[in-house]
């Protein structure tokens, strides 16, 4: 059935939607939320999207109708202490559009979302880029967490969509950007974007890395990131492996490294 706009919600005609690694894990049954019980089948996926508002619920201004929008994936409860301090993306009771139970996603003709989650798209952002705002927000936050200075050398592990977006934001910040990956197809595509170095894991040169950003799904790479980064610098973890990743905190402490985890595009 077509969605109906509940009070505080809008209905959006979806025009573009992306397929994320999380969606693939939900499809294959490997997603950790399925193990934790916060997600159960059936579920409609899709959390990277854009579209046009076509209906509004009670309490929503009609000015939203006809607006091109995208929206936040993380839908906090709005009343807990984390939401009240503006961190709804880590709300214990949050919904996640197309990811957690009770929030059908945007891989459909229409999707219903809270108006509070909307972001209006300017005309300069086309439909495809509009659907890339959500993964772009994750990538932007990862680069901000790396605290790069102009001229720093950054290494991005995993040249998938998030990794390439991370690399582009890091390059825009003035860093010398290298990527490391496994698939020759992804490495070739990354080279076509003109980065300073694109390497297979066994070809990575010995360099001083001012920041290492792990955007991969490989369980062994978080520890490798810590080994590679310069003492006193930063590692950022935005990728998620399908099995536990182990870090030696002695290395973290003895190298005086700052490690940052990134969940969600919300603040970005």
For residue 102, is pLDDT > 90?
no
- Whether the predicted pLDDT of 242 surpasses 90: no
Reported pTM: 0.94
Query: Taking a C-beta distance cutoff of 8 angstroms, is the pair 196, 154 a contact?
Result: no
As a whole number, mean pLDDT of residues 131-159 equals 97
The answer as to whether 267 is a domain residue is no
Domain end: 131, 151, 179, which one? 131
Say what the pLDDT of residue 73 is: 96
Distance CA 191, CA 36 (A): 38
Q: What is the DSSP letter of 122?
A: P
CATH, residue 242? 3.40.50.720
Which residues constitute the domain of residue 120?
A: 9-131
- Check residue 261 and give its pLDDT: 98
The answer to whether position 241 is within a domain reads: yes
Question: Looking at residue 71, what is its pLDDT?
Answer: 97
CA distances 204 to 64, 157, 158, 228, Å, are 50, 11, 13, 10
The answer to whether position 175 is within a domain reads yes
Residues 206 and 117 in one domain: no
| 243 has a pLDDT exceeding 90 | no
Classified as helix, coil or strand, 135 is helix
Number of domains in the chain: 2
Residue 1 has what pLDDT? 82
104 and 44 co-located in one domain: yes
Q: Under a CB-based contact definition with an 8 Å cutoff, are residues 112 and 3 in contact?
A: yes
CATH of the domain at 14: 3.90.180.10
Q: Which residue, 99, 131, 163, sits at the end of a domain?
A: 131
Please list, in sequence order, all residues whose beta carbon lies within 8 angstroms of the beta carbon of residue 207, skipping any fewer than 6 positions away.
Answer: 153, 155, 178
Which of 131, 158, 185 delimits the end of a domain?
131
53 and 28 assigned to the same domain: yes
- CA 75 to the chain's CA centroid: 15
Does one domain contain both 106 and 17?
yes
């Amino acid at each position: 059935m077509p969605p109906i706009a509940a009070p505080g919600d809008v209905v959006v005609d979806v025009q573009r939607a992306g397929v994320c690694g999380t969606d693939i894990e939900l499809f294959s049954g490997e997603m950790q939320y399925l193990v934790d019980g916060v997600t159960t089948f059936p579920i409609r996926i899709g959390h990277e999207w854009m579209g046009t508002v076509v209906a509004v619920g009670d309490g929503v201004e009609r000015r939203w109708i006809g607006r091109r929008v995208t929206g936040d994936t993380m839908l906090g409860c709005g009343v807990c202490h984390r939401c009240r301090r503006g961190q709804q993306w880590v709300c214990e009771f949050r919904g996640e559009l197309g990811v957690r139970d009770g929030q059908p996603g945007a891989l459909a003709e229409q999707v219903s979302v809270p108006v509070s989650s909307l972001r209006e798209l300017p005309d300069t952002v086309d439909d495809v880029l509009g659907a890339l705002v959500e993964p772009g927000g994750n990538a932007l936050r990862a680069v901000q967490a790396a605290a790069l200075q102009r001229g720093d050398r950054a290494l991005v592990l995993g040249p998938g969509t998030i990794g390439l977006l991370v690399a582009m934001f890091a390059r825009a910040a003035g860093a010398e950007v290298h990527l490391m990956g496994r698939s020759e197809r992804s490495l070739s595509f990354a080279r076509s974007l003109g980065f300073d170095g694109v390497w297979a894991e066994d070809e990575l040169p010995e360099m001083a890395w001012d920041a290492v950003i792990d955007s991969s799904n490989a369980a062994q790479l978080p520890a490798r990131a810590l080994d590679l980064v310069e003492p006193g610098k930063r590692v950022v973890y935005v990728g998620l492996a399908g099995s536990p990743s182990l870090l030696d905190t002695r290395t973290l402490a003895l190298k005086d490294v700052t490690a940052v985890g990134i969940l969600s595009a919300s603040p970005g």
